[in-house]
């Protein structure tokens, strides 16, 4: 028995998210089918996260136990030969049996990309969230200090999650503007359901002067989802890195 | 009667190119249908170029004659309300009656984007040509001086074109590398059928040392398509700008 860790890049546009579902095409479902084709056996793959429909990943980590005789580094080529072009295995390697893509993870970095201008975009439209009103990036950056650190992020969690402990640590938030594009990077030891997207939705309120940067502290303390902003659209979100 | 000039951005991935065809979905066909919906009358649109299937445009220019009462700048909004999200009208304005998107054009700039590394890519895969062998960009740049200027580009033209005069002037070629991405910009007073893609295909031969930079001169003088490189894949090509 071997434990194989794979790193995957995917364009989530055409998928109902990572997690396997009965009546929808998901990334986990497609990779498990490819793995069955090459190993001859159905094998469950554990993902580092349950990304939503339309969310992308540059370095999603997954792991699976297998008795296949395929050499560790050859899973990459074998899987890619069966996968569609919007899912790409970047690497495959054997890891200790106690490694689990999700439970062994120490943290993750997500990026969120905003096209901030009046006109929409056709080329690359699936990788950005189009936000028309001008965003005051300085005000947004002013608010990061209220988000960074260890907090109860209940206000930044969608309902429908069974997770009980809502305390997480954001280790870093930073943003850059290149012309009309704003890219925000958020690193944390873990993310609650829709947490990254609700943080960005709340930053939209800060960036449009609907709320002041320091009101983030009040929202956090309230632990009430209704005080935070919208859940920003999925297509701007991308899993950049997982830490172990 | 008004002559309206529109500038269009499009993602060519899902289209059989610009030009209207009977049994295929084309960008011209889709825009003409939208124009008919908003103006109530079928109107022929003249495009600046006949981009191939899979080729993109950041600023394609088209023009049409209309008796519609829609104000010149409102065609943009009206058309966008009917167009799919991969075709976007960036501007609309009235121009003199003798303006024609194609015949009035003084030149164009195309970009070609190459992903130059072993691994493929999932995110943004429709906007780059994946080329695995390392490309020597210095050798490629060394060859530009043989392409720039006024030449008979017969060797860089696909058959199937009815154009008789194969003399064109390339006013500039330049390239930049950002990590694994190489972007080549080619400006000319006009492009023969597949000329930009065949130039890039020939630059692949230079960049992999299959031919020396100075052999471009021999290929040009031969006027023989068989001496040039392949026609590089459509998806790396993008119409950047049209000059009038």
Q: Answer whether B127 sits within 8 Å of A123, measured CB to CB.
A: yes
Closest CA to A26 of A34, A37, A18: A18
Of B11, B52, B172, B221, which residue is the catalytic one? B52
Q: Answer whether B120 sits within 8 Å of A80, measured CB to CB.
A: yes
Judgement on whether residues B15 and B76 belong to the same structural domain of the protein: yes
Give residue A188's domain range.
107-243
- Residues from A in contact with B at Cβ < 8 Å: 9-11, 56, 58, 80, 85-88, 90, 119-125, 127, 238
Residue located via tokens 């889709």: B30
Of A9, A80, A122, the CB nearest to B123: A9
Q: Which of A95, A120, A154 is the last residue of a domain?
A: A95
Judgement on whether residues B60 and B124 belong to the same structural domain of the protein: no
Residue B143: which CATH number? 3.30.70.660
Check pLDDT > 90 for residue B94. Answer: yes
Mean pLDDT of B173-179: 96
Coil, helix or strand for A207? helix
pLDDT of residue A160: 77
pLDDT of residue B165: 93
Q: Is position B101 within any domain?
A: no
User: Taking CB atoms and an 8 Å cutoff, what residues of chain B touch A235?
Assistant: none
Residue-wise pLDDT for A87-144, tens only, equals: 999 999 999 999 999 999 999 999 999 999 999 999 999 999 999 999 999 999 999 9
pLDDT of residue B234: 97
- Rounded to a whole number, what is the distance in Å from the CA of A109 to chain B's nearest CA? 17
B161 pLDDT band, cuts 50/70/90, is: confident
Q: Is position A102 within any domain?
A: no
**Active-site residue list of A:** 52
User: Taking CB atoms and an 8 Å cutoff, what residues of chain B touch A122?
Assistant: 9-11, 85-88
Judgement on whether residues B43 and B164 belong to the same structural domain of the protein: no
Mutate to test the interface with B, among A123, A124, A183 (most CBs of B within 10 A): A123
Closest CA to B202 of B182, B230, B175, B223: B230
User: Taking CB atoms and an 8 Å cutoff, what residues of chain B touch A88?
Assistant: 119-122
Q: Backbone phi, then psi, for B94, in 5-degree steps?
A: -80, 140
Mean pLDDT of B106-128: 97
User: Taking CB atoms and an 8 Å cutoff, what residues of chain B touch A9?
Assistant: 121-123
Residue-wise pLDDT for B71-86, tens only, equals: 999 999 999 999 999 9
Judgement on whether residues A125 and A225 belong to the same structural domain of the protein: yes
Q: How many CB atoms lie within 10 A of CB A149?
A: 11
pLDDT of residue A88: 98
pLDDT of residue A159: 85
Q: Rounded distance, CA A45 to CA A155, Å? A: 31
Total domain count for chain B?
Answer: 2
Judgement on whether residues A151 and A44 belong to the same structural domain of the protein: no
Residue-wise pLDDT for B29-76, tens only, equals: 999 999 999 999 999 999 999 999 999 999 999 999 999 999 999 999
Give the nearest chain A residue to B80 (CA atoms).
Answer: A120
Q: Answer whether A122 sits within 8 Å of B80, measured CB to CB.
A: no
Mean pLDDT of B178-198: 96
Binned average pLDDT, 10 residues per bin, chain A of 244 residues: 97 96 96 96 95 96 96 96 97 96 96 96 97 97 97 93 89 96 97 96 98 97 96 98 96
Judgement on whether residues A125 and A200 belong to the same structural domain of the protein: yes
Q: DSSP letters along chain B, please?
A: -EEEEEEEEE-GGGSS-SS--SSS--HHHHHHHHHHHHHSS----EES--PPTT-EEEEEEEEEEE---S-TTHHHHHHHHHS-TTEEEEEEEEE-TT--TTTT--EEEEEEEEE-SSS--STTGGGSEE--SPP-HHHHHHHHHHHSEEEE-GGG--SS------EEEEEEEEEEEETTEEEEEEEES---TTHHHHHHHHHHHHHTTSS-TTHHHHHHHHT-GGGS-----GGGEEEEEEE-
Check pLDDT > 90 for residue B232. Answer: yes
Q: Is position A170 within any domain?
A: yes
Judgement on whether residues B54 and B22 belong to the same structural domain of the protein: yes
Question: Which H helix or E strand runs over A58?
Answer: strand A56-66
Q: Answer whether A120 sits within 8 Å of B58, measured CB to CB.
A: no
According to the annotation, is B15 in a ligand binding site? no
Total CB pairs under 8 A between chain A and B: 53
Q: How many CB atoms lie within 10 A of CB B76?
A: 21
Residue B40: which CATH number? 3.30.70.580
Residue B178: which residues within 8 A CB-CB, separation 6 or more?
A: none
Q: Is position A66 within any domain?
A: yes
Give the nearest chain B residue to A120 (CA atoms).
Answer: B88
Q: Is position A26 within any domain?
A: yes
Closest CA to A100 of A4, A18, A7: A4
């Amino acid at each position: 028995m071997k434990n194989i860790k794979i790193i995957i890049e995917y364009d989530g546009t055409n998928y109902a998210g990572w997690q396997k579902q009965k009546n929808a095409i998901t990334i986990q479902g497609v990779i498990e089918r490819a793995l069955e084709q090459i190993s001859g056996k159905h094998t469950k793959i554990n993902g580092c996260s349950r990304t939503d429909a339309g969310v992308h990943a540059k370095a999603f980590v997954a792991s699976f136990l297998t008795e296949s005789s395929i050499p560790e580094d050859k899973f990459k080529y074998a899987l890619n030969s069966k996968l569609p072009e919007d899912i790409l295995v970047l690497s495959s390697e054997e890891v200790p049996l106690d490694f689990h893509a999700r439970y062994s993870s120490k943290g993750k970095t997500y990026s969120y990309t905003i096209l901030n201008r009046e006109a929409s975009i056709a080329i690359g439209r699936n990788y950005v969230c189009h936000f028309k009103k001008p965003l005051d990036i300085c005000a947004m950056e002013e608010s990061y200090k209220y988000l960074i650190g260890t907090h109860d992020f209940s206000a930044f969690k969608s309902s429908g999650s069974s997770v009980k402990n809502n305390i997480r640590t954001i280790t870093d938030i930073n943003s850059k503007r290149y012309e009309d594009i704003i890219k925000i990077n958020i690193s944390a030891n873990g993310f609650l359901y829709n947490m990254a997207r609700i943080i960005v939705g709340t930053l939209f309120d800060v960036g449009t002067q609907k709320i002041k940067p320091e009101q983030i502290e009040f929202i956090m303390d309230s632990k009430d989802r209704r005080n935070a902003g919208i859940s920003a659209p999925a297509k701007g979100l991308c899993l950049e890195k997982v830490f172990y």
